[in-house]
Amino acid sequence: MEWVVFAVVAGCAVASAVGLVVRPNPLHGALYLVGNLFCVAVLYLMLRAEFLALAQVIVYAGAIMVLFVFAIMLLVPGKAEAGVDPLGPQRMLALPFAGLLGLVVVLVLPYAAARAPAPPAPGGVQPLGERLFTDYLFPFEVTSVLLLAALVGALTLARRRLP
């Protein structure tokens, strides 16, 4: 049963990622990306990472994608990539090299996970919170500084220059 769910969700994830790369309209790409994020959230649930699945839906599919759709609507409503490609056939060279990279990563990554899975850390959110606020307290605090820096940076960049 779990295999069936995994196969279906993995297929949806790959298909939506391909759709993002293939579709010329960035708005369609954003919708495909939302589908991909939801699929990954389901995979988190299957890996017993319930909190991350919720955070994925709220932060990624909610906040970040709204930001993306805002930017797309603000900049190029439905405009595809037009004009002659200055790189031309050179760009298609990317495909074999990306395929090579994919081959290497597909071969190496599962090898790194190849051991019998240990029982999951007990509970859902509780061990996560305990580790986060004891061992990982300093990175957690640094994260707040990062968010503040990003906030100030985005405001400065998007500010309309006064004459």
Partner 1 sequence: MVHPGYYAALSAVLFTIGVIGVLVRRNPLVIFMSIEVMLNAANLAFVAFGRARGVADGQIIVLFVMTVAAAEVAVGLAIIVAIFRARYRISVDDLSLMRW
> For residue 101, what are its two tokens?
């990279």
The distance of closest approach from Cβ of residue 37 to partner 1 in the complex, given in angstroms and rounded to an integer, is 7
User: Binding partner 1 by CB under 8 A: which of 42, 57, 77, 128?
Assistant: 128
Residue 9 and residue 36: Cα distance in Å, rounded? 9
Give the SS3 label for residue 73.
helix
Question: Which string of DSSP letters, residue by residue, matches 13-42?
Answer: HHHHHHHHHH-S-HHHHHHHHHHHHHHHHH
User: Binding partner 1 by CB under 8 A: which of 8, 77, 78, 91?
Assistant: 91
The distance of closest approach from Cβ of residue 163 to partner 1 in the complex, given in angstroms and rounded to an integer, is 14
Q: Site residues for partner 1, window 96-115 (CB under 8 A)?
A: 97-99, 101-102, 105-106, 108-115
Residue 100 and residue 95: Cα distance in Å, rounded? 9
The distance of closest approach from Cβ of residue 14 to partner 1 in the complex, given in angstroms and rounded to an integer, is 6
Q: Site residues for partner 1, window 35-64 (CB under 8 A)?
A: 36-37, 40, 43-44, 46-49, 51-52, 55-56, 59-60, 63-64
